[in-house]
Amino acid sequence: MDEFALIRRYFAPLSPAAEGVVLGIGDDAAILAPPLGHELLMSSDTLVAGRHFPLTTAPYDIGWKALAVNLSDLAAMGAEPLWFLLALTLPQPDEAWLAGFADGLGTLARTHGIALVGGDTTRGNLSITITAVGSVPAGSSLRRDGAKLGDQICVTGTLGDAALGLQLNGSENRSPCAQSEHDLVALHARLDRPTPRLEAGLLLRGFANAAIDLSDGLAGDLGHVLAASGVGADLQADALPVSEAFARQAEAGDRLALQAAGGDDYELCVCLPPDRLAAARTAIAPLPLTVIGTISAEPGLRWWATDGTQLKPELLSYQHFDDRRQAP
């Protein structure tokens, strides 16, 4: 199958007639008409086989996650998804792999009404780069640099599931009961098919002073907000929200590291004034919004236990060029 047949067969179906698409796949470039009075937001992310996902990952999950991580960036800015580009490097045009990949990618794309408008297809080691484009009414994006003294620091959903799923990969010394099987499936689903919080991002635009999505781990990601905003934070370790599967399966001694430095959660972390909390919670319900700490004047990030003692956890956020931390 040549490159053009491959694009026609697997990727053109992800390019429905969509709003603002004057010309989609097939010419040298797509022609797009931005919504009037809006700003465009663009974000790229690359997934490299063997680094961002194990070589054994199902093609459906690779397609899903490649788009999900980009949509999560749009969500963190409060943007509505519009279009995306796909740059795909493949060792060979394996049809079963392509069908699964396009299915995962297309399922998530249709869920959020985002249209594929172009890309590039090349031969080489498996790697996927997606560029997603979204929009917001001019001036209304959520950013990292707006956190204010006294803001409550909140997260959507639960933290640590993906990291625990990764930790439990291949661990054989667990009791093989039905409950832990069920929990493992749930934890792996969080790792392989993360849910970008687009709806919550849009709704939180009216409430939050700052936002970021949690891809590399809470401690590191919140650190970017603190640095950009010129503030510090005090966090309650026991306030970090957990799923039922996490509560049952995580070892007590691992919890804080998994939740605060684990990464791959793709939840949103937002900073908002206390008097907006109740309305923000109502707006995004039933998705939970949990207060985990407060923005303070003293720079840096401090962790506290419920009894008021300070914790000094060693937390390393995922960084590609940091030798202290190896890729999975």
Kindly list the residues in this chain that would bind ligand ADP in the complex (CB under 6 A): 7, 11, 25-28, 86, 88, 116, 118-121
**Closest approach of Cβ 115 to ligand ADP, in Å?**
11
Q: Are residues 225 and 270 in contact, defined by beta-carbon separation less than 8 angstroms?
A: no
Residues binding Mg ion: number (CB under 5 A): 1
d(CA 169, CA 161): 12
When asked if residue 275 is in the footprint of Mg ion (CB under 5 A), the reply is no
- Taking the least distance from each CB to ligand ADP, the nearer of 3 and 244 is 3
Count the neighbouring beta carbons within 10 Å of the beta carbon of residue 72.
25
Q: Which does 245 bind (CB under 5 to 8 A by kind): Mg ion, ligand ADP, none?
A: none
Q: Are residues 142 and 76 in contact, defined by beta-carbon separation less than 8 angstroms?
A: yes
**Closest approach of Cβ 21 to ligand ADP, in Å?**
12
Residues 27-56 that bind Mg ion (CB under 5 A): 28
- Taking the least distance from each CB to ligand ADP, the nearer of 28 and 323 is 28
**Closest approach of Cβ 30 to Mg ion, in Å?**
12
- Taking the least distance from each CB to ligand ADP, the nearer of 63 and 118 is 118
Q: Which does 86 bind (CB under 5 to 8 A by kind): ligand ADP, Mg ion, none?
A: ligand ADP
- Taking the least distance from each CB to Mg ion, the nearer of 28 and 314 is 28
**Closest approach of Cβ 11 to ligand ADP, in Å?**
4
- Taking the least distance from each CB to ligand ADP, the nearer of 43 and 167 is 43
Cα separation values, 178 from 175, 183, 292, Å: 9, 9, 32
**Closest approach of Cβ 26 to Mg ion, in Å?**
11
Reading the block at residue 20, the tokens are 């603002």
d(CA 75, CA 71): 6
Helix or strand or coil: residue 148?
coil
d(CA 108, CA 62): 12
**Closest approach of Cβ 28 to Mg ion, in Å?**
4
Q: Which does 323 bind (CB under 5 to 8 A by kind): ligand ADP, Mg ion, none?
A: none
- Distance, C-alpha 163 to centroid of its chain: 13
Q: Which does 204 bind (CB under 5 to 8 A by kind): ligand ADP, Mg ion, none?
A: none
Orientation angle between helical segments 59-76 and 95-112, nearest 10 degrees: 30
Q: Which does 236 bind (CB under 5 to 8 A by kind): Mg ion, ligand ADP, none?
A: none
Reading the block at residue 266, the tokens are 């793709």
Residue number closest to Mg ion, CB atom: 28
Q: Give the 3-state secondary structure percentages of the chain, helix then strand then coil, rounded to 5.
A: 40, 25, 35
Q: Are residues 69 and 45 in contact, defined by beta-carbon separation less than 8 angstroms?
A: yes
- Taking the least distance from each CB to ligand ADP, the nearer of 98 and 222 is 98
- Taking the least distance from each CB to ligand ADP, the nearer of 119 and 196 is 119
Residues 6+ positions from 45 with CB-CB distance below 8 Å: 66, 69, 70, 73, 129, 130
Q: By the criterion CB under 5 A, which residues form the site for Mg ion?
A: 28
